[in-house]
C-alpha cells in the first residue's frame, strides 16, 4: 500500500521485553523441557512463530503443528511425542500464554493526556484523581467518574451516570443518564449503554412509548465490545454481571440480567426481562427470547435460538435450541430430508402393493 | 460496587408524583375495586412491587403472581379470583399502565442547554425555535432543524438534511446529506441514517460503486434504536413509515419501505427494495431478503428468514419462514430426525423381509 | 411532513448533467436501438422511471416491466420483444448502468473544508495534501493520513494509525491505534476498526484479558458500512482484502483474513482466525465460525451458518450450511416433518399389521 518504511512494531504499540524460557516458566509456575536459557521476545501462533517466539498448544487440533513449528518454545500441558521444540509445561497452557503475553507485551498503553480543555464537564459532575479525559468528551450534570479512568474522544456521559475506578471508555461510546458502571470496566467504541428499552403499549393501532425508568448497571471487570446496545429497564434494571465479557454488536434488552463471568460472543441478542446465570457462554449471533430464565454454566452454540427456560449446565444448539448432543445429529440430518421423504413414499408403495396383492387361494 | 450512598431515584432521573388509586382510575377511564384512596407513587412488576407501587397484569402467564404481589394495586382487565390486592380495572391494562407511567414518572427530562457555543452550525443551515443543541454537534450547509428539537453531543447532521419539530437525536447519531426526518422522531445514540446503499456493479472481478442518489425519509413519530444503520436508496428512497419503532442494531437496506406503525425488534435485517405494509411486527434477528413485498399486519417470529412475498395478516416463523401454526410443529420436530431416519430404515427392512419371505406353497 | 417547498434535487445532493442516448451508448461502448438523440437526465427503476430517465434490465424477473416502463430508454443486454422503448444495448447492462449513474449524477460531493481549527491533530501526526478534516476530529500521535482524504466530524484516529490517499471516513468512525488503512478506502459512520479481539483465558472461573497485539489492515479500495466492528488480531493481523465491500453492522473477529473483492452483506459475523478467499459473496446475517478456511469464489446464502472448511467455488445455504442445490430442497422440506413423521407411523402400523396377520393355512 506504499507506506513509508517504518518500524512496524512501534506503530503496533508493542513494547517488547526479552525473557528467558526459564524466567517465563518460573513466572507462570511451570517447568521447562529443553534449554531454559533460550531468549523469548514475543508470542505467536504455531504456524507463524519464528526465532524468539513462544507459541502454545491449547487445542489438540493443532498438535501436529508442534512438530513443525519454528517457535523457539511451546507452552503445552505435556510434552508432545515427536516434537523437538523446547517446552514450557504448564497446567493450564492457555492461561500461561495469557500471563506471558501480558508480561512480554502488556495491555494497550494509554497516553496521559490529563483533562483536555476541549471537553465539557458539568460543574456539578465529579471526576476522580489521575483521570485522562480526551477532547470532545461531555460529562453531564451530577455524573461521577472515579479515579484512574481513561475517557477517549467524543464519549458522552449522561446526567447522573456513575463510573467507578480504572475504567477505559473508548471513543464515541455513549452512556445515557443514570447508568452505573463499576470498576475496571472497559467499554469499546461506538457502544451505547442505557438507551430506552423497546417498550410500547399498542392501543388502537398506535404504539405509545412507555417511560423506561430502570437503568443499566455494569458490574466490576466487565468488558463490552464495539457497537453494542444495552437497553435500560422499564421498571427494574438491566444488569451485566461482574467479570462478564461481551463481544461486538451485542444487543441486550430492557431489564435483562446477565450473571457473573459470562461470555457473550459478537452479535448475540437477548430480549428483555431474561435472566442468565453465571459462567454462561453464548455463541455468536445467538438469539434468546424475553422473560425466560437460563441457569448457570449454560453453553449455547452460535446462531442458536433459545425460547424456553434452561436448567444449569445445559449445552444447547440449533434454532429452536435443543440439547447439543441430540441437536448435533438432528440438525445435520436436515440434508437427508429429501431422501427420507422419498424413502417413506417408496416404502408406503411397497406396503400398499403387499396389501393389494391378491391372496393365494 | 462501592458507590457513595446517594438517593438512587435522583440519579435515575425519576421525578415522581403521588396519586391516589381513584385519581389514576379516573385518569385512564377505568374503575377501582378496593380502596380508591390508596396512595400510588410508582409502578413496578408484580414480583418486585411493594408499598406504594402499582403493578399490572397484561399477560395471563403472570396471573398467579397477582395473588402474592406486594403491590398496593394492580391494573388488570378483570378481577382475579383469590387475589386480595385492590384493582384498577381497565379495558386495555397495558395501555393504562403506560398512561400511568407517563403520569407518575414522565419521559426523560432534557436539560435546556440552548445552542451550545461549542457546536458548528453552517451559516446556511436553519435551526428553529426552542432547540437545545449540545456541544460538538455539527449541522452542515442548508440543513434545517425544526422547532423544539434536542440534539445531543457529537451528532452530525449532513448537508441539506431536514429535521422536523420536537425531535430528539441522541449522542453520536449521524444523518447523511439530504435525508428527511419528520416530527417527534427519536433517534438513539450511534445510529447512522442515510449511508450509501450496498450497491456495486461487478465487472471483470471488480466491484464498482454505484452512486446512491435516493435519500432516507423517516416519517413522523418514528423511534429508532441505538446502533442502527439505515441505507439511502440507489434510485428511490428508503422510508420508515409513520409511528414505526425500530429496536437496536437494526439494518435496513437501500430503497426498502417500512409501512406505518410497524415494530422491528433488535438486530432485524431487511435487504434492499423490499416493502413492508403497516402494523407489521418483526421479531429480533429476523432477516428479510430484498425485492419482496410483505403485506399489512404481518407477524414474523424472531430469527425467521423471509424469502418470499407475504400476504396480509400472515404469521410466520422459521428459516425459511413458513406459516407459524405449521412451523411451530415442523421446526420442533427437527429433534426427531435421527429417530425418524432410523424408523424409516427399520420399516424398510421389515418390508424387504416380508417381500423376500418365501410364499407358502 | 410539512416541509417548505424546496428543490428536492438540490437537497439530495444530486448534480445532474443531461446527455443524449447516443452519447451514453458511446460512453459505455454500447449501441442504440431507437433514436440516439433522446435526452437523458437521470436514471430510475423501470417501475418509477419517467420522461428523461434511463432505466435498466439486469434481472430477467423484471423483463415484463420493460414493455410498460415510461423510461425514455432502457439499458439491456438485448432487445426485449414487444417493447417499444429505445434501448441502449450493452454487454454488461448493470455495469453500463453504473457507468451512466456516475456520469449523470456522480458520487457524493464533499465540501472543501480544509483542516478545521476545531480538530485536534497531534504534533507528531502527519496529514497529507488536499485533505479536508472536519470539526471535532482527533488524530493521535504518530498517525499518518495520506493525500486527498476527507475526514468527517468526530472521527477518532488512534496513535500510529496509517491512512492512505483519497480515503473518506464518515462521522464518528473510530480507528484504534496502529491500524493501517489503504488508499481509496471508504469507512462509513459509527464503524469501529481495531478494537481488541474477543480473547480471554478462562482460569478458575475468571476470564483474563489477553493482550491483542495484532492490528487491522484494510487494503486499497475497500468500503466498510456503518456500525461495523472489526477486531484487531491477538497475534497476527486482521485483514480486509483489496476491493472487498462490507455492508452495515458486520462483525469481523480477531485475526480473520478476508480475501480480495469479496462482498459481505449487512450483519454478517465472522469469528476469529478464519480465512476467506477472493471473490466470495456472503449473504446478510451469515455466521462463520472461527479457525476455518473458506476458498475462493464461494457464495453463502443469507443467514447460513458455516462451521466447516469450504472448497473453492462452493455455493452454500442453511444452518448448518450445506451445498445450496441440496440445501434448497432439504430446508424447504422442514415444513413436511409433521406429515413425514405421521406417515412413518402409519406405514409402521401397516407393516406390523401385515406381520401379525395370521397366515392362511
| Selected residue of A144, A201, A241, A322 to mutate for chain B interface (largest B Cβ count, 10 A) | A201
The B residues from 284 to 323 touching C (CB cutoff 8 Å) are 285, 287, 289, 291, 305, 318-320, 322
- Three-state SS string over chain C comes to CCCCCCCHHHHCCCCCCCEEHHHHHHHHCCEEECCCCCEECEECCCCCCCCCEEEECCCHHHHHHHCCCCCCEEEECCCCCCCCCCEEECCCHHHHHHHHHHHHCCCCCCCCCCECCCCEECCCCEECCCCEECCCCEECCCCEECCCCEECCCCEECCCCEECCCCEECCCCEECCCCEECCCCEECCCCEEEECCCCEEEECCEEEECCCCCCEEECCCCEECCCCEEECCCCCCEEECCCCEECCCCEECCCCEECCCCEECCCCEECCCCEECCCCEECCCCEECCCCEECCCCEECCCCEECCCECCCCEEECCCCEEHHHHHHHHHCHHHHHHHHHHHHHHHHHHHHHHHCCCCC
In A, which residues are within 8 Å of B340 by CB distance?
340
Cell of A250: 451485542
Catalytic amino acids of B? 254
Q: Per-residue pLDDT averaged across A295-303, rounded?
A: 98
pLDDT above 60 for C359: no
Split at pLDDT 50, 70, 90, the class of C4 is very low
Alpha helices in chain B (DSSP H): 8-11, 21-28, 63-66, 93-104, 324-332, 337-356
pLDDT of C185-240, one tens digit each?
A: 999 999 999 999 999 999 999 999 999 999 999 999 999 999 999 999 999 999 99
pLDDT at C16: 60
pTM above 0.90, yes or no: yes
Split at pLDDT 50, 70, 90, the class of C357 is low
- C-alpha B240 chain-centroid distance: 12
pLDDT of A155-198, one tens digit each?
A: 999 999 999 999 999 999 999 999 999 999 999 999 999 999 99
- Give the closest of C180, C182, C207 to A243, CB-based: C207
Q: How far apart are CA A40 and CA A50, in angstroms?
A: 10
pLDDT of A55-96, one tens digit each?
A: 999 888 889 999 999 999 999 999 999 999 999 999 999 999
The residue of chain B with its CA nearest to that of A120 is B135
Q: How far apart are CA C282 and CA B60, in angstroms?
A: 43
What does pLDDT average to over chain A?
93
pLDDT at A98: 96
pLDDT above 70 for C283: yes
pLDDT at C60: 86
CA distance C61 to chain A (A): 28
pLDDT above 60 for A223: yes
pLDDT at A7: 36
pLDDT above 90 for C292: yes
> ipTM of the assembly?
0.93
What does pLDDT average to over chain C?
93
User: Is B337 in contact with A329 (Cβ distance < 8 A)?
Assistant: yes
Establish if A167 touches chain C: CB-CB under 8 angstroms: no
Phi first, then psi, for residue C22 (nearest 5°) are -65, -45
pLDDT at A361: 43
User: Is B209 in contact with C189 (Cβ distance < 8 A)?
Assistant: no
Contact B89, B57 (CB under 8 A): no
Angle between helices B337-356 and A324-332 (to 10 degrees): 60
Contact C11, B178 (CB under 8 A): yes
pLDDT at B28: 97
- C-alpha B81 chain-centroid distance: 34
Catalytic amino acids of A? 254
Q: Per-residue pLDDT averaged across C283-307, rounded?
A: 98
- Give the closest of B11, B227, B344 to A229, CB-based: B227
Helix, strand, coil in percent for chain B, rounding step 5: 15, 25, 55
Q: How far apart are CA A161 and CA A124, in angstroms?
A: 12
pLDDT at A355: 79
Give whole-number Cα distances, C97 to B200, B215, C293, in Å: 11, 19, 35
pLDDT at C11: 38
Task: Find where cell 403497516 sits.
Answer: B278
Q: Per-residue pLDDT averaged across C265-277, rounded?
A: 98
Split at pLDDT 50, 70, 90, the class of C14 is very low
The residue of chain A with its CA nearest to that of B134 is A138
Task: Find where cell 420399516 sits.
Answer: B347
Q: Per-residue pLDDT averaged across C25-44, rounded?
A: 96
pLDDT of A225-277, one tens digit each?
A: 999 999 999 999 999 999 999 999 999 999 999 999 999 999 999 999 999 99
**Sign of the dihedral defined by the CA atoms of residues B91, B97, B103, B104, in that order:** positive
Contact B178, B158 (CB under 8 A): yes
Split at pLDDT 50, 70, 90, the class of C180 is very high
Q: What is the mean pLDDT of each run of 10 residues along chain B (361 residues)?
A: 35 64 97 97 91 91 93 95 94 96 95 97 98 98 98 98 98 98 98 98 97 97 98 96 98 98 98 97 98 97 98 97 95 95 93 73 43
pLDDT at B357: 66
- Of the ranges A287-296, B89-98, C51-60, which one carries the lowest mean pLDDT score? C51-60
Q: How far apart are the first and last CA of chain C?
A: 89
pLDDT at C355: 79
Indicate the pairing of strand A206-209 with strand A200-203: antiparallel
Give whole-number Cα distances, C300 to A259, A316, B304, C15, C176, in Å: 35, 24, 17, 37, 30
Split at pLDDT 50, 70, 90, the class of C9 is very low
pLDDT: which is higher, B275 or A1:
B275
Give whole-number Cα distances, B271 to B100, C124, C302, in Å: 38, 43, 10
The residue of chain A with its CA nearest to that of B348 is A347
pLDDT at B31: 97
Number of neighbouring beta carbons within 10 Å of residue B259: 23
The B residues from 196 to 215 touching C (CB cutoff 8 Å) are 196, 198, 200-203, 205-211, 213-215
Establish if B122 touches chain C: CB-CB under 8 angstroms: no
Taking Cα atoms as reference points, which of A260, A192, A176 lies closest to residue A220? A260
CA distance A165 to chain B (A): 10
Amino acid at each position: 500500500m506504499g507506506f513509508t518504511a517504518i518500524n512496524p512494531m512501534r506503530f503496533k504499540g508493542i513494547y517488547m521485553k526479552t525473557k528467558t524460557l526459564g524466567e517465563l516458566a518460573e513466572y507462570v509456575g511451570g517447568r521447562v523441557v529443553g534449554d531454559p536459557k533460550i531468549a523469548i521476545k514475543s508470542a505467536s501462533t504455531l504456524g507463524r512463530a519464528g526465532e524468539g517466539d513462544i507459541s502454545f498448544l491449547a487445542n489438540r487440533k493443532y498438535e501436529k503443528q508442534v512438530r513443525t513449528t519454528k517457535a523457539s518454545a511451546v507452552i503445552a500441558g505435556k510434552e508432545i511425542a515427536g516434537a523437538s521444540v523446547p517446552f514450557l509445561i504448564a497446567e493450564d497452557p492457555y492461561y500461561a500464554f495469557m500471563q506471558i503475553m501480558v508480561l512480554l507485551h502488556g495491555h494497550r498503553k494509554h497516553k496521559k493526556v490529563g483533562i483536555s480543555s476541549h471537553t465539557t464537564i458539568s460543574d456539578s459532575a465529579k471526576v476522580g484523581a489521575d483521570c485522562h479525559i480526551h477532547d470532545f468528551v461531555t460529562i453531564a450534570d451530577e455524573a461521577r467518574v472515579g479515579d484512574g479512568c481513561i475517557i477517549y474522544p467524543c464519549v458522552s456521559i449522561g446526567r447522573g451516570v456513575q463510573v467507578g475506578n480504572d475504567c477505559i471508555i473508548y471513543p464515541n461510546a455513549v452512556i445515557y443518564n443514570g447508568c452505573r458502571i463499576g470498576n475496571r470496566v472497559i467499554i469499546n467504541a461506538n457502544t451505547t449503554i442505557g438507551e430506552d428499552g423497546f417498550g410500547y403499549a399498542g392501543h388502537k393501532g398506535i404504539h405509545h412509548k412507555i417511560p423506561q425508568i430502570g437503568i443499566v448497571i455494569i458490574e466490576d471487570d466487565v468488558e463490552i465490545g464495539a457497537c453494542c446496545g444495552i437497553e435500560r429497564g422499564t421498571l427494574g434494571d438491566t444488569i451485566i454481571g461482574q467479570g462478564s465479557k461481551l463481544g461486538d454488536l451485542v444487543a441486550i434488552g430492557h431489564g435483562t440480567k446477565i450473571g457473573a463471568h459470562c461470555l457473550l460472543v459478537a452479535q448475540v441478542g437477548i430480549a428483555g426481562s431474561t435472566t442468565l446465570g453465571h459462567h454462561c457462554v453464548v455463541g455468536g449471533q445467538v438469539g434468546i427470547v424475553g422473560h425466560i430464565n437460563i441457569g448457570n454454566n449454560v453453553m449455547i452454540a452460535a446462531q442458536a435460538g433459545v425460547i424456553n427456560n434452561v436448567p444449569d449446565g445445559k449445552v444447547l444448539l440449533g434454532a429452536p435450541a435443543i440439547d447439543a448432543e441430540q441437536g448435533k445429529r438432528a440438525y445435520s440430518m436436515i440434508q437427508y430430508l429429501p431422501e427420507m421423504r422419498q424413502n417413506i413414499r417408496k416404502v408406503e408403495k411397497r406396503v400398499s402393493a403387499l396389501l393389494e396383492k391378491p391372496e393365494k387361494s
